[in-house]
Structure 1
Amino acid sequence: MDLPIVVGVDGSEPSLRAADWAADEAALRGVPLRLVYASLWERYEGESLAEDVDKPSEQVLAEDIVRAAAERARRRQPGVGISTDVLPEEPEYALVREGRGACALVLGTRGRSGIVETLLGSVSLAVAAHADCPVIVVRPGNDNHVRAGAHRRVVVGVGEQGADSAALRFAVEEARLRRASLDAVRAWRRPAHETTDHPLLAGEPARLHEQHAAEVLDRALKETPADVDLHRRTVEGPARRVLLNASREADLLVVGARRNQAHLGLQLGRVAHALLHHCACAVAVVPERA
């Protein structure tokens, strides 16, 4: 049985954009779509029940939300099998658990309580930091058409994992499914202590670091399938800035995040954290095992 795409919905505009994206992604992969609403409404409503219905009013609202989102997804992708669920749980925990049986989780930037939509909400941030599957966060401004994206380009940040990188494998598959080009980007920096004022040596440290970045790219990409329209780039600068700039001409940016099972805190590096908050396109955070 194919694992579904799971999307968290709550009736907000960001979550509806995420549901649109998830429906397209499910159609592209040929897998089911599962829409989930999670909330601890009983904590806030106690025994308050909706009129004529023996349920808490927030639960009634949640069921209406997932029903409407499912109808919207069916209109968008009639061939996708769709299931829904309403869970009386903290959304962070519920969605992370749902991710254990999903091929990917799709989320919006913020829910109904969000104030500044362009910054990532706490639920999406927590899920991206702890999920066992890739988490795609749909950013504001996305055209929400997975196959016919505005740029037809997937960007992946290449780290030290090389060809063993789960993020790279995910990016390759996304580019193939979308029939998009794949930009593999490796950022590099010259350490400050290696700078020199000598005119004959000034360029040598930079050349060596750029050469190392190119070698890392070559090793990582040596097994990339021939049918992928691959472009490789080494760019000087902090990885956060380099990838944020690359996101301006991409439909999806893929980055890896290392997971340490012994660590219970927020498991996102500075690069992934910055991209989730400020990226110009959708971001996929893919777990990399430590």
Structure 2
Amino acid sequence: MRIPLVVGVDGSKASLEAVGWAADEAARHGIPLHLLHAAAGEQEASDVVSAASARARQDAPAVPLSSEVSHENAASALVDKGRNAFALVLGSRGHGDLSGMLLGSVSLAVAAHAECPVVVVRGSPEHRAARFGNVVVGVEDGEGSRTAVDFALREAHVRDCRLVAVHAWSAPSGACTTSRAPSWFLEAHRRPPAQVLDDALRRPAERYRNASVSRQLIEKPACRALLEAASTADLLVVGARRRLGHSGLQLGLINHALLHHAPCPVAVVPQR
């Protein structure tokens, strides 16, 4: 049996929305769906899992379904399960989150530490129901986007929709092109923006030769460019770098902002 798509459930409305999204996703890929609930009370756990199971069977009755209850911390249980998962799917908020928070603490912690892709299901019903026909992927210079592009192209393929590859860039100012500019800055502006996109898409596109791919070069801050592109997207995909000498991922300010504000589901894909 193929490794499952794992969705974290806690009984909240956002959690059930995540289950519905995950059920559709599992059906697209032809993989099992596994529900994971972390809780202390047995009766509460039974009710939560039953409601989530009913939602999954309603949305995708043919998908093989399993479930479990863990007594670990929710984030730890999900990260552990993610070591052998196709992806982890989470709601944008949970029961335990403060009312003013835009993203649940568990979702943020899992996105920062999981070894597999993490999808945070957010946005309007129209975005969650895949009605736009676009998967957007953010492409940065260097190797950080390679795995994200692979993931995004596969998603566009199973959805039979268009991939929109976005590379945002800013022309360096005169002051930053002097010998006093740091080496990382000069390296970041060494390749022409069009070449960055071409290089990132070349190898993955060989596996999906019939894929419809749109390239967007945008001269503006990356976060704003991606949020604008996501306004007509069914899924926004971004990469995450590994930290040297630390556990987990370096989500960075851009990924944090997208997880909190994107108008559609967001997939954070670890660099490999």
Is 1:170 aligned to residue 151 of structure 2? yes
Deviations 1:108-137 (A, max 9, x none): 011112344771111000000110100000
Equivalent residue letter for 1:257:
A
Equivalent residue letter for 1:65:
V
Query: Which of 98, 106, 109 is the equivalent residue of 1:126?
Result: 109
Is 1:252 aligned to residue 262 of structure 2? no
Name 2:2's counterpart in structure 1.
2
Q: CA deviation at 1:141?
A: 1.4
Query: Which of 133, 146, 152 is the equivalent residue of 2:133?
Result: 152
Equivalent residues of 1:4, 1:102 under 8 A apart: yes
Rounded to whole Å, the distance in 1 between the matches of 2:144 and 2:246 is 25
Pick closer, same or farther for the CA change 1:133–1:163 going to 2, 3 Å: closer
Aligned-pair Cα RMSD in Å: 2.2
Deviations 1:152-187 (A, max 9, x none): 100000122459711000000000000110000000
Rounded to whole Å, the distance in 2 between the matches of 1:229 and 1:73 is 30
Q: Which runs of 5+ in 2 are unaligned?
A: 177-188
The percent identity for this pair of structures is 51
Pick closer, same or farther for the CA change 1:210–1:245 going to 2, 3 Å: farther
Equivalent residue letter for 1:123:
V
Rounded to whole Å, the distance in 1 between the matches of 2:199 and 2:126 is 34
Name 1:136's counterpart in structure 2.
119
Match runs of 1:215-230 below 5 Å: 215-223=195-203, 224=205, 225-230=208-213
Deviations 1:69-123 (A, max 9, x none): 1122112111001001111110010000010110000000111123447711110
Deviates most, 97-106 or 159-168: 159-168
Rounded to whole Å, the distance in 1 between the matches of 2:249 and 2:190 is 32
Name 1:188's counterpart in structure 2.
169
Equivalent residue letter for 1:185:
V
TM-score computed with the length of structure 1 as normaliser: 0.83
Name 1:206's counterpart in structure 2.
none
Equivalent residues of 1:6, 1:102 under 8 A apart: yes
Name 1:214's counterpart in structure 2.
194
**Larger Rg: 1 or 2?**
1
Rounded to whole Å, the distance in 1 between the matches of 2:214 and 2:100 is 32
Say which SS state the counterpart of residue 249 (structure 1) adopts.
coil
Rounded to whole Å, the distance in 2 between the matches of 1:157 and 1:194 is 27
Rounded to whole Å, the distance in 2 between the matches of 1:145 and 1:21 is 7
Equivalent residues of 2:122, 2:128 under 8 A apart: no
Deviates most, 115-124 or 99-108: 115-124
Number of paired residues?
258
Pick closer, same or farther for the CA change 1:3–1:161 going to 2, 3 Å: farther
Name 2:262's counterpart in structure 1.
279
Equivalent residues of 2:97, 2:105 under 8 A apart: no
